[in-house]
Amino acid sequence: MKHSPFSIHNPNKHHRFRKVKKFFSLNFIALFGILGLSACDIEVEVNPSETPSTSQSASTKEKNTGKATPSSSLSSTTTKAAESKKTTSKDKERIGAHQGTSSVIDNRKESKGTDYAWNGELINYKAEWDAYFTTLKSTKALDVLETLPVQASDSKSGYKREEFGNRWVDVDGNGCSTRNDILKRDLTSVTYTSKKTECIVKTGKLADTYTGLNISFNRDNASAVQIDHVVALSNAWTSGAQNISNNDRIALANDPYNLLAVQGSANMSKSDKDASKWLPQTSFKYEYVARQIAVKSRYHLWVTQAEKDAMKKILQEKPQTDVKQVKY
């Protein structure tokens, strides 16, 4: 009796079924293996803005450890590229008094848009300013003013805070952020969140140089006292900072000579105005203008004609004002 290949009585049915099952099983496994391997080999490109930073921000580290540590946002590719750069003679001159751990000096034109991190070089601001003062023929503010280039403001295009590095990094290597260094310097009756580190300022009293008012500082309401850049960073950007190195911009943003603890509302009122549009309403205005002149001189920035005229008018009231007579 003949049996149809599909008959339930066909004795070869189970054997053939096992062959068909084995055929599909083997091919399915092979296909799955190929697809699985392909999936493992795919590299997903992540938007850089969504990539978690490899280091904490300075402010986060302050909260966690009581110390602010210079952070780096460099990718490994950018780091290798940066490490291959040579230190220029200008950079060597700028960091000559430093004690540091890194020889990386960034050239802004090469790293624009990719690197805002401090490179680890420590800055001795006092030594640098003392060295700068020796290069001046006269330290009278009026005389230094005459050495500054005069030209119209540059475009604000491209400006962002990150062009001057991460906020309040520890560029002098003392374990505290720049913000806390300035609060510690300018406040009296200072207390700290930790007596062991004496780093993060908790409370203090400010004799405000901009308004003449006495202000109580409390970390829980920190906006009452703010840290002002005497030469505002956006003003620096439009008066030559676009042309200086990335590291010099970071140094400028954290330079104690260019920073003051002041009343928050006065700082907001000043914003990024230059001396032709805003001045302290106290006798501190002479030192204020002297600071701006020295900062612009040292960091190779210029003044507008209106700005120079305003500075000159103020200083003629007190012509002996000296750029060296500044607490920093």
Task: Provide the pLDDT confidence category of residue 35 given band limits of 50, 70 and 90.
Answer: very low
Task: Provide the pLDDT confidence category of residue 8 given band limits of 50, 70 and 90.
Answer: very low
Mean pLDDT of the 10-39 span: 43
> What secondary structure does DSSP assign to 117-135, as a single string?
S--S----HHHHHHHHHTT
* 315: Cβ contacts below 8 Å, ≥ 6 apart: 141, 142, 145, 286, 289, 290, 321
Site of tokens 């609060």: 183
Asked whether residue 45 carries a pLDDT value surpassing 80, the answer given is no
Q: How confident is the model at residue 21, as a pLDDT?
A: 47
d(CA 102, CA 111): 17
87-to-80, 95, 104, 114, 325 alpha-carbon distances in Å = 15, 10, 7, 19, 33
Residue 175's CB is within 10 A of a number of other CB atoms, namely 15
Asked whether residue 291 carries a pLDDT value surpassing 60, the answer given is yes
d(CA 222, CA 215): 11
Mean pLDDT of the 281-297 span: 97
**Rg of the chain taking only CA atoms, in angstroms:** 31
- Dihedral angle of Cα 259, 96, 105, 301, to the nearest 10 degrees: 50
Q: How confident is the model at residue 118, as a pLDDT?
A: 52
Task: Provide the pLDDT confidence category of residue 196 given band limits of 50, 70 and 90.
Answer: confident
> What are φ and ψ of residue 322, in 5° steps?
-115, 140
All structural domains of the chain with their residue ranges: 125-315
166 secondary structure, DSSP code: S
What is the pLDDT of the chain when averaged over all its residues?
Answer: 74
Q: How confident is the model at residue 120, as a pLDDT?
A: 65
Two tokens at 176?
């505290």
Task: Provide the pLDDT confidence category of residue 328 given band limits of 50, 70 and 90.
Answer: low
- Give the pLDDT confidence of 223-234 residue by residue, as tens digits: 999 999 999 999
Mean pLDDT of the 106-124 span: 48
Task: Provide the pLDDT confidence category of residue 325 given band limits of 50, 70 and 90.
Answer: confident
* 300: Cβ contacts below 8 Å, ≥ 6 apart: 240, 243, 244
Kind and range of the H or E run holding 65: helix 58-65
